[in-house]
Amino acid sequence: MRFQTDLQYHNREEKARYVWQKYQEILQGSILDVGADEKYLTQHLPAGVRYWGIGLGGSPDQEVNLETGMIPFADNSSDTVLCLDVLEHLDNLHDIFDELCRVSRKYVIIALPNAWSGILRVILFGDYQTHHHMKYYGVPVEKPLDRHKWFLSYDEAAHFVAQRSAEKGMRLVQVDAYYSIDWRRWRNRIFYALSHALLRFSKVNAENFFISTMWAVLEKQEAPNNA
């Protein structure tokens, strides 16, 4: 596997370190971070790398509402484009995915959470109660500021990225699974074994209940003429 790291993350700041350790080979030149939040990645970037973060919330360099417009940059304007745990929040997921490919000069890095895993963990091991909504998917009494608009499994997310990127002239360099499950807990190990046994003859991939996030790297197949 070309891009890899043994690091784990539990919050956005730790995730930025994970991203740097895993993808630093292609985090060079100019970087556009779509959904930059507090721009934690800048803590790891070396001098000379040009970073620009856009989005709503946090402290981006530029506020951009992705739901009401496209990415306001020219074709092939950033060497690497990041979009981490953002697409699932957008009604116009397909349009913004296409925009990521358009503004990228070389690479796109995408992370999509696996909803199957997140919901199942809450039901089986969390503090689920009928009068409490599930994070990102439930129906709270008051309208939430943020929620997921798409309920994807790992397999579905990987299939979407592979097919859509090919349509946009991008080559899928790598797709891999991130597991945040704590294997030290006996109940997780037992549930893992039971799930695979029960679904042995099913078309459902049991790994969808354990993978936390799908990570993918796309590469533009043809360099722009002004390279």
In a domain, 120, yes or no: no
- The tally of domains found in the chain comes to 1
Q: Per-residue pLDDT averaged across 123-138, rounded?
A: 67
What pLDDT score does 41 carry? 98
Give pTM, 2 decimals. 0.91
* 30-34 and 50-55 strand pairing: parallel
In a domain, 5, yes or no: no
Query: What percentage of the chain has pLDDT greater than the value 90?
Result: 69
In a domain, 21, yes or no: yes
141-145, 180-184, 218-222, range with greatest mean pLDDT: 218-222
| CA distances for 165 relative to 85, 87, 94, 101, 173, angstroms | 17, 14, 11, 8, 11
What pLDDT score does 132 carry? 58
- Contact between 175 and 186 under an 8 Å Cβ cutoff? The reply is no
Residue 20: domain span:
12-114+150-180+212-220
In a domain, 143, yes or no: no
In a domain, 216, yes or no: yes
Q: Per-residue pLDDT averaged across 187-191, rounded?
A: 84
Q: Which residues pair with 159 in a beta bridge?
A: none
CA 137/CA 85 separation, integer angstroms: 15
Provide the mean pLDDT of the chain. 90
CATH number at residue 61: 3.40.50.150
The H-or-E segment that residue 12 falls in is helix 12-23
CA 120/CA 211 separation, integer angstroms: 11
Give residue-wise pLDDT tens across range 48-87: 999 999 999 899 999 999 998 799 999 999 999 999 999 9
Give residue-wise pLDDT tens across range 87-120: 999 999 999 999 999 999 999 999 999 988 877 7
Whether pLDDT at 136 is above 80? no
Helix (H, G, I), strand (E, B) or coil at 114: coil
Closest CA to 87 of 104, 105, 106, 71: 71
- Contact between 68 and 99 under an 8 Å Cβ cutoff? The reply is no
What pLDDT score does 227 carry? 44
Whether pLDDT at 224 is above 60? no
What pLDDT score does 139 carry? 81
